[in-house]
Structure 1
Amino acid sequence: MKTSELHSLFLTCHSACTDTRSIKPNAMFFALKGDNFNGNTYAEKALEAGAKYAIVDEEKANTSENTILVDDVLSTLQKLASFHRSYLNIPVVALTGSNGKTTTKELINAVLSQKYKTTATVGNLNNHIGVPLTLLSMTGVTEIGIVEMGANHLKEIEFLCRIAKPDFGYITNFGKAHLEGFGGVEGVIKGKSEMYAYLIENDKTIFINANDKIQVDKTTEAHTYTFGNSSNNNDVNINFIKAQPFVKSKYKDLEVQSNLIGDYNFNNIAAAVTIGNYFKVDDTAIKTAIEHYTPTNNRSQIITKGTTKIILDAYNANPTSMQAALLNFEKQKGFKIAILGDMFELGDNAKTEHQNIVNLVESLSIDTVYFLGDNFYNTKIQSEKASSYPSFSTFKSQLNTDSLKDSNLLIKGSRGMALERVLELL
């Protein structure tokens, strides 16, 4: 079946789905395969649950007039999504980066939705499956699409851009993330910059932070729309005021008080303000959007339990984001305790990067530090204020929870460490 023919059928459906547990009536089900599952075996169940069509790539799963046999389900999903994106012909803003992607995406969506009907990536569905599903969630009502793109290897961003065909792009930063897959920081820069290459090649617009030398140097041949402080000649001037602990900034004559902690979130806010300005969102509406956004999903959440004030930043971690979180945390007033988990996907750099974090922590004014995970457990710790545990269960069995009372508590680690479990101990 041609992609155009499949698309005609898709337009009669209400959604695209890859999981029978979340099937909605009249969905188009895509029977994807993985190392430990085969969606073809669930095609019949998907139809019984209300799916209108099931896309399969095994003959034995092609059992009814509502199953559609294709050569490869994943490739079909991607081609259909790209076709749908062209069919809608709406502006698409794409973003990637080492840190802050999802928060920035949420802020951009909050700002643009003040004026437009937007469709944005849900959560962090930002890979070769998530991006197509995001595109297929856009409808004729959508006026602007916002697509987050993640990657841990070279050529992934390039591939996702070919699918999503963005008209605008923004890279939050270039940090020490996924070093194992990218082969080092230079690989990270090269991989993320694949978005720049696509946008330049197709004569599109790039939003850049004028204070980031890498962004500036990589976009000399591009159509750019810049932001920075008022000392520079930018399209948008926005100034950082303070983060005690929430970021406050000034845009034009408006002071914008966010619910985001840490000065590292200033650039995420500034990018959203800038993109809103480009799309002519009213200034007061931009301010309203930023001030009403509250982080969720373990990303820099502020939680109070009894006398303990918690910064829960347990969604993910890499050396760059860990350093930023610690430097911000040191500025907090009162007794400070940090519970830090291993950082994953660092490859050969893991030992050095974990030791660097230990060294940093020992130099900061943080009263007590608990390191969790094999990588941190194998570092050299010299300070009496710090201790390490090979696993969460070991830490849990030895922790005196009363020691966490009357304190500021930072919880940060990679997703696999699931450090939000600390909340259950309080």
Structure 2
Amino acid sequence: MNLTLADVERCLGGMAEEGHTQIVIASVKTDSRTVEKGDLFFCVSGENFDGHEFAAQAVKQGAVAIVASRMLDDVDAPVIMVRDAVDALGRLAACWRDMCGAKLIAVTGTAGKTTVKEMLYAVASQKFNTAKNYRNFNNQIGLPLSMLKATVEQDLWIMELGISQRGDMEELAPIASPDIAVITNVGPGHLKGLGNEAGVAHAKSTLLRYLRQPGSAIISMDYPLLWDAARELVDAPIGFSTNNDSHTSFVASFLGAGASNLGRFRLRTPEGEEEFEAPFCGEHYAENLACVAAVAHALGMSRADVISGVQSLEPDTQRFCCKPNGDLMIIDDTYNANPLSMERSIETAANMADGKPLALVLGDMRELGDEAVMRHEELGRTIKDISPAVVFYKGNHFEDVAREYGKKMHKVDTQEDFAHAWQSFGAADGVVLVKGSRSLKMELFVSALCAGRTVNAQGGKQ
């Protein structure tokens, strides 16, 4: 990066010290363990740590300056004093974006925002020098760090914004200040911090208040609470949908699984319709695809650009990633779970099973607040409607799910529990979906399946 220490001082509201225009910042860090020569270290404090305690160590490792919110002793480097280090980090990122003159796309939503970001990156990179945030580095620290990693040569920045509490978007959106604001959907996610689905829609749509003019708002039309909230804030949002009857030019449909676990899709844009295959499956990917097509059009890109871009994607190993194991198809969707993504994944897995045995290996959906019991009961009813061959479950809401499912479920807590329970099921073919909230480490069950710690119907090792 070409940011100097003098730039940092000016961005944070101070006067540039003499000689600081010659000090170029290599990178911005908040973790002292990763500091290298030439870095700028921010003393960020959390519940269990205080970055100020590691300032001296950061300087020893090569930090050229420190940003702190209290006085420091024994630090042999320039110290820039601020009221709040996290707020200052965001202000510096916003200032850096203005210095670079980049166009920024901000992506948020209850589900699919990381996938949309990755798809957009694959599409946009065909025409633009593009930056993105790594995986889901999307909070008050991850977003500005991602923006500060972008360079002046990158003319398009695609940034994901993730919120979990009221007020989060009011902190994130001014940092991004997007030219294009994208909201993929809204559903019952992070209800502990956002209240209910109406609260989620309001919080997500707050992003639109910080849209630069002239800017574009790309919004799903399939969620009335979201669409209504968006129309209160912008005059003419651009809609996308998976409903062919929707009054929009951007519609995508999932047509089923194709050869070699590819998905078949139909995409409609102002240029017309086209069917094609892509390296992902499911109705939820149709929603992502329609969204990406709308954003690409706003960037002056064609339907052909969208298709070629998404066809180049490498599947994420924990986002509905299909992993064949003999005649058994293991679907690793263990990155996270909320009611919206859980329902979609189960329905897609059932469609893929297409008459073959379907096994569900599920875990709790966290951060649902007062609606946790109700949402897990809904999950039980969803499973009942699907009628899988077997259900394995990990988490505290086992009884809530089982009560509405009404059939036997296998409670599993460890890989060993799962291996033993799976042995009694003993399917040699079919589809297995593994999904739950991130903290449950459901990927361990995927590892057990892929490592051959399962048994076939005859009782022998696979």
Instruction: Tell me whether the two structures share a fold, i.e. TM-score over 0.5.
Output: yes
User: Which residue number in structure 2 is paired with residue 39 of structure 1?
Assistant: 51
Which shifted more, 214-223 or 343-352? Answer: 214-223
User: Which residue number in structure 1 is paired with residue 332 of structure 2?
Assistant: 312
Q: Does 1:23 align with 2:48?
A: no
Match for residue 222 of structure 1 among 235, 241, 253: 235
Q: Does 1:206 align with 2:211?
A: no
How many Å separate the matches in 1 of 2:441 and 2:15? Answer: 40
How many Å separate the matches in 2 of 1:258 and 1:362? Answer: 30
Match for residue 386 of structure 2 among 361, 364, 367: 364
Give 1:56 deviation, angstroms. Answer: 2.9
Give 1:301 deviation, angstroms. Answer: 1.1
Shift in CA distance, 372/224, structure 1 to aligned 2, threshold 3 Å: same
List 4+ stretches of structure 1 deviating above 4 A: 4-11, 228-233, 382-385
User: Which residue number in structure 2 is paired with residue 289 of structure 1?
Assistant: 309
User: Which residue number in structure 1 is paired with residue 256 of structure 2?
Assistant: 243
Q: What amino acid is aligned across from residue 120 of structure 2 in structure 1?
A: I
Q: Is contact 1:101-1:172 (8 Å) kept?
A: yes
User: Which residue number in structure 2 is paired with residue 153 of structure 1?
Assistant: 165
Shift in CA distance, 99/247, structure 1 to aligned 2, threshold 3 Å: farther
User: Which residue number in structure 1 is paired with residue 286 of structure 2?
Assistant: 266
How many Å separate the matches in 2 of 1:376 and 1:394? Answer: 18
User: Which residue number in structure 2 is paired with residue 406 of structure 1?
Assistant: 429
Give 1:354 deviation, angstroms. Answer: 0.8
How many Å separate the matches in 2 of 1:211 and 1:65? Answer: 54
Give 1:113 deviation, angstroms. Answer: 0.9
Unaligned runs of 5+ in 1: none
Shift in CA distance, 247/156, structure 1 to aligned 2, threshold 3 Å: farther
Give 1:61 deviation, angstroms. Answer: 4.8
- Root-mean-square deviation (Å): 2.7
Shift in CA distance, 285/335, structure 1 to aligned 2, threshold 3 Å: same
Q: What amino acid is aligned across from residue 349 of structure 2 in structure 1?
A: F
Number of aligned residues:
424
Which shifted more, 179-188 or 299-308? Answer: 299-308
1:304-351 deviation per Cα after TM superposition (whole angstroms, max 9, x unaligned): 234431111111111111111111111123211010000001111111
Q: Is contact 2:68-2:80 (8 Å) kept?
A: yes
Q: Is contact 1:56-1:69 (8 Å) kept?
A: yes
Give 1:67 deviation, angstroms. Answer: 4.4
Shift in CA distance, 405/45, structure 1 to aligned 2, threshold 3 Å: farther
Give 1:232 deviation, angstroms. Answer: 5.0
For normalisation by structure 1, the TM-score amounts to 0.90
Q: Is contact 2:202-2:229 (8 Å) kept?
A: no
Give 1:26 deviation, angstroms. Answer: 2.3
Q: Is contact 1:377-1:388 (8 Å) kept?
A: no
Match for residue 24 of structure 2 among 12, 15, 22: 12
Which shifted more, 151-160 or 46-55? Answer: 46-55
User: Which residue number in structure 2 is paired with residue 276 of structure 1?
Assistant: 296
How many Å separate the matches in 2 of 1:11 and 1:91? Answer: 27
Give 1:410 deviation, angstroms. Answer: 0.1
Which shifted more, 342-351 or 64-73? Answer: 64-73
Q: Is contact 1:193-1:218 (8 Å) kept?
A: yes
Shift in CA distance, 383/105, structure 1 to aligned 2, threshold 3 Å: closer
Determine what percentage of the aligned residue pairs are the same residue.
Answer: 26
Give 1:203 deviation, angstroms. Answer: 5.4
Secondary structure of the residue aligned to 1:275 is: helix
Which shifted more, 23-32 or 91-100? Answer: 23-32
User: Which residue number in structure 2 is paired with residue 177 of structure 1?
Assistant: 189
Secondary structure of the residue aligned to 2:28 is: strand
How many Å separate the matches in 2 of 1:77 and 1:423? Answer: 38
How many Å separate the matches in 1 of 2:401 and 2:416? Answer: 17
